[in-house]
A and B are shown apart, each in its own frame.
Chain A
Amino acid sequence: MYDFAYHKPTTVADAVKILSADSDARPISGGQTLLPALKHRLNKPTSVVDLSGIAELRGIKRDGNKVVIGAMTRHADVASSAEVKAAIPALAQLASTIGDNQVRNRGTIGGSVSNNDPAADYPSAVLALNATIVTSKRRIAADDFFQGMFTTALDAGELLVAVEFPIPEKAGYAKMKNPASRYVMAGAFVAKTGGQVRVAINGAAPCVFRQAEMEAALTASWSPAAVAGVVQPADDMNSDIHGSAEYRAHLVTVMAKRAVAAAG
């Protein structure tokens, strides 16, 4: 790891000030992705801005027909939250399967969503549940947020503050893990919210995406059988030593089927 200056601001405004002033400064939340990258010297930030001192970024609250989760809320907290379990059990279940126990004890929703790793779990829930990303300066719809591999709509110096999840009628998540890393090889988050069906696929492609054909099929008939016949084209799927594009494309359908079954 290269050395860096360390800051621990106590307000979002202070954090933004530091990050805006220096384009080579990096925020750190749980650090479960950033620190391994720094250890391998893949990044050389001039300073690291620790967000853990900012109380306003933490916590889960029910707000009408929404669940609002602060950026610094850890995966373990989402997984065990009574509010989340009651309102969006699929989201709590998803959080309970991110990484391992130790990752869940440090990693945060804000860090995961901001990073937009194609093999991460949360982006699928954010997209399928049509969540709103609340940042230090604006509100961004999920459809506009995830822009490509490790790329989001966040501007330099803009911090993710919270994620607002509308409460769905039904939601389910299923994934196949990469046998080595245990990150997502192919996953599907399905949700029906206000009568609208959304299906988000993660792990399989360079960026989380919505599967329109499955959404149409589930809108017509909400059942595992409805998506079973939808063939995901392999063209844009990832391919590596753990699985071909063809395999991942196939898994997309299987996981979607299982996610619908889990949603009930």
Chain B
Amino acid sequence: MNAPVVFEGIGASPKRKEDLRFLSGRGNYTDDINRPDQTYAVMLRSPHAHAAIRGIDTAAAAAMPGVVAIYTGAEMVVGSLPCGWLIHNKDGSPMNEPGHPPLAQGKVRHVGDIVAVVIAETRPQARDAAEAIAVDYEVLGAATSMAAALAPGAPLLHEGAPGNVCYDWHIGDLAVNQAAFAQAKHVVHFELVNNRLIPNAMEPRAAIGDYDRTTDQHTLYTTSQNPHVIRLLMGAFVLQIPEHKLRVVAPDVGGGFGSKIFHYAEEAIVTWAAARINRPIKWTADRTESFMSDAHGRDHVTKAKLALAADGKFLGLHVSTTANMGAYLSTFATSVPTYLSATLLAGVYTTPTIYAEVKAVFTNTVPVDAYRGAGRPEATFLLERLVDIAAKQTGIDKLELRRRNFIPADAFPYQTPVALQYDSGDYQSTLAQALKTADWDGFEARRKAAAAQGKLRGIGISTYIEACGIAPSAVAGALGARAGLYEVGAIRVHPTGSVSVLTGTHSHGQGHETTLAQLVTDRFGIPLSQVDIVHGDTDRVPFGMGTYGSRSLAVGGSAMVKAMDKIVLKARRIAAHLMEASVDDVEFDRGTFRVAGTDKTKAWGEIALTAYVPHNYPIEEIEPGLDETAFYDPKNFTYPGGCHICEVEIDPDTGAIEVINFTAVDDVGRVINPMIVEGQVQGGIAQGIGQALLETCSYDADGQLLSGSFMDYTMPRADDVGTLSVATHETLCTHNPLGVKGCGEVGAIGSPPAVINAVVDALRDYGVTHVEMPATPAKLWHIINSGRQLAAE
């Protein structure tokens, strides 16, 4: 008797292929790699937020035990770390784009800026020597906050950026927008800070530079989400190494959340220095370094106003944001507050006119760039708080106000006033499903029960949309993107029928080795064990743009589908030859080729073998082999959306807050692996709860990081999060072959406003309309206490 065949294709939840090695300690992360004759690098970092370097004395350090080499900006004169997106000002002029040298050139601009690299036989020796370097700093005034940087007479970070402004950009028709406000019955004003976050993937960044003098071959092992992009940026712009002489390997990577997209100075330093000393160099950040060198996220200050008609219909939205770039432009920093945020301001609503302006500002802080959601959480938080505030101001129920303004399910494709065209969605249904799961109607009873225990209970909702798989290349290019936004998939069918997939995406927790393999299993009808996913190595994978913006399945998966189409077409031609039929008559379904309407069949394995052992083969018409590559450039973004509902309870004595229930109903398009989708959404929600209740990056006025370790930066722990109820409601993406939308970021995008809406609801008797994130116990207690004092007066 045959064992029952377990379905492992689209819609199944097979256990992950990658888990066995991770659970056995056999993962291969960058710091786990050791090269023969390896040395260790330690970066000497600036202790000052802003200072001129008058001199660096490395003599004593160079004489210390084990020291191999010390380099400063004087030796390492190379290209600037590039910015990948050019933004134009309101007047059409290009943004200010000051250089970002890997090793400081005469000036440091944030605590953590790299002044020198010390290379030694052991890591402790390198660190001992780094302490012996004497740097003569002339400390300059620091502009740590955006307000300080924009103030008259503020310290200037870059000669090429007067007033510390990177750009002053806008989108939308201001005259039309103003006209809408003139007609409004209600205008709702709102100001907020979207708190600065530190991504803190659990694996600290690391990089190993290796060089072979005999072949002039450079290899960089790095903790990257997109090795081909690093090869392009570092090779072409920073070090001038042509692609064929530069291999970038991103092995197992321990989480990214955006922070490992960017090309970092340390990657260029170890690659450059390894060639100088002709020995491998390993650098691994300790967590303290991560805090002061990984790109941070968010950090927007926004003023918004919403115009409403008497019936609550949104008439217009006006948004002014200042966005912190930090001290230098990180790889995609400039796109985050603009094309990844302002373009999302329609949300799920039919607001007819939207005007948004963004001023990007340099400050003496770590560069700020994309962090899980990148711009979309900021837009969503603003909108979903604003809707709640509008509901309160107009007296219209917050659910009703949302329903009245939803884009109807039959209105797709829907063109928003901020450039995007949504392809599909069903917001009424996700809302209805979430309300039911969360027992919204039963909340008042729960609130009363909590009040009887002396607790303040609140419920909050957010109905959101986001945009994934940024594309198409031509449109993004017209908007300033300096990269293509396609993806590459190569399907290599081996002679015995097993398959290797070479994908330009990269998995650092997302489970691609399983999900992407399921696509192949589903199409070719071969077991999951017969499919391996290869990624993260520029010498093995033809090309790729990597993994960010929830793009891997929508873009990378679609490239695989295109490549599989080519495989199937060729395989059908081979099968047609073998079965002496016309190719048009040969059907293929999950592993079986059949002459339509007959019982003549050929199995997958036979065709694969024939392709590589072409004895009986139409060699004049078809090349041997079964190996196809496809590049897929999407026609549009995808638009996941959904509804998140959060219920919190606050202890008024201490301000301690607990997330009691969290319900998410997300439309991520077609679900390939439900288990993995649930996990992605749960993880995103935890980060959203983190932003809303726990996490914030604080600097003092001198530019010292106050939240510079896990002692002071509150990471969500197991007892902070609670049970998460996660479900999906599918509408299919209409323009990619899989119908998928993306699930990596929805959790972090939809959740923060749901949490804060719940907090504000819990404090309904204390006269607050907004609580800035994070809503910590101390902050909540102060609100409650001042409310109490008011009541007592």
Contacts and interface: CB of A to CB of B under 8 A. Distances in A.
A40 B711 CA distance: 13
A229 interface: no
A242 B777 CA distance: 9
Interface stretch (A46-54, A84-92, A138-146, A175-183): A175-183
Interface in A155-188: 176, 179-181
A107 to B, nearest CB: 16
A201 B712 CA distance: 22
A40 B706 CA distance: 16
A62 interface: no
A263 B359 CA distance: 57
B18 to A, nearest CB: 27
A176 B654 contact: yes
Contacts of A180: 694, 707, 710-715
A254 interface: yes
B778 A242 contact: yes
B714 A179 contact: yes
Contact of B781 (A3, A179, A250): A250
Interface in B668-722: 694, 698, 706-707, 710-715
B707 A241 contact: yes
Looking at A3, A179, A254, the one whose CB has the most chain B CB atoms below 10 A away is A179
Secondary structure type dominating chain B contacts? loop
B473 interface: no
Interface in A15-74: 40-41
B569 to A, nearest CB: 57
A254 B707 contact: no
Contacts of B712: 180-181, 241-242
A264 interface: no
Given A181-B712, A241-B712, A242-B712, A3 B124 contact: yes
Interface string A238-251: 00011110110011
A247 B124 contact: no
Contact of A241 (B124, B131, B698, B781): B698
A241 B698 CA distance: 8
B653 interface: yes
Contacts of A3: 124
A41 B128 CA distance: 10
Contacts of A251: 654
Nearest to A228: B653
A1 interface: yes
Mostly, the A contact residues are: loop
A176 B777 contact: yes
Contacts of A244: 778, 782
B785 interface: yes
A247 B710 contact: no
Interface residues of A, number: 18
Contacts of B778: 242-244, 247
Contacts of A40: 288
Contacts of B654: 176, 251, 254
B776 A250 contact: no
Contacts of B655: 247
A254 B653 contact: yes
Given A1-B124, A241-B706, A250-B785, A181 B711 contact: yes
Interface centre among A176, A241, A243, by most chain B C-beta atoms within 10 angstroms, is: A241
A247 B707 CA distance: 19
Interface in B765-793: 776-778, 781-782, 785
Nearest to B712: A180
Contacts of A254: 653-654
B768 to A, nearest CB: 17
Interface band, chain B: 20 to 34
A182 B698 CA distance: 18
B776 to A, nearest CB: 6
B315 to A, nearest CB: 41
B782 A247 contact: yes
Interface string B626-665: 0000000000000000000000000001111000000000
Contacts of A1: 124
A261 to B, nearest CB: 12
Nearest to B695: A180
A176 B777 CA distance: 10
Nearest to A100: B717
B124 A179 contact: no
A229 B653 CA distance: 13
A20 to B, nearest CB: 29
Interface in A208-254: 241-244, 246-247, 250-251, 254
Contacts of B781: 247, 250
In this complex, the member of B694, B778, B785 whose beta carbon has the largest number of chain A beta carbons within 10 angstroms is B778
Contacts of A250: 781, 785
Contact of B656 (A41, A176, A241): A176
Nearest to B700: A241
Contacts of B656: 176
Contacts of B131: 41
B510 to A, nearest CB: 28
A68 B723 CA distance: 42
Contact of A179 (B698, B706, B776): B776
Contacts of B698: 241
A40 B127 CA distance: 11
B704 to A, nearest CB: 12
B256 to A, nearest CB: 23
Nearest to B651: A254
B203 to A, nearest CB: 18
Interface string A1-13: 1110000000000
Nearest to B128: A2
Nearest to A183: B711
Nearest to B696: A241
Interface string B45-58: 00000000000000
A249 to B, nearest CB: 11
A49 to B, nearest CB: 21
A250 B652 CA distance: 12
Interface string A77-115: 000000000000000000000000000000000000000
Contacts of B128: 2
Nearest to A257: B653
Nearest to A180: B714
A179 B710 contact: no
Interface string B244-255: 000000000000
Contacts of A242: 712, 776, 778
Query: Residue among A40, A250, A254 with the most chain B CB within 10 A?
Result: A250
B445 to A, nearest CB: 28
Nearest to A182: B717
B767 to A, nearest CB: 20
A244 B706 CA distance: 15
Contacts of A243: 777-778
A244 B776 CA distance: 12
Contacts of A2: 128
Nearest to B774: A179
Nearest to A258: B653
Interface of A: 1-3, 40-41, 176, 179-181, 241-244, 246-247, 250-251, 254
Query: What are the nearest 4 A-B pairs in CB distance?
Result: A180-B714, A243-B778, A181-B711, A179-B714
Interface of B: 124, 128, 131, 288, 653-656, 694, 698, 706-707, 710-715, 776-778, 781-782, 785
Given A3-B124, A246-B782, A254-B654, 16 more contacts: A1-B124, A176-B654, A176-B656, A179-B694, A179-B777, A180-B712, A180-B713, A180-B715, A241-B707, A241-B712, A242-B776, A243-B778, A247-B655, A247-B781, A247-B782, A254-B653
12 contacts: A3-B124, A176-B656, A180-B707, A180-B713, A180-B715, A242-B712, A242-B778, A243-B778, A244-B782, A247-B655, A250-B785, A254-B654
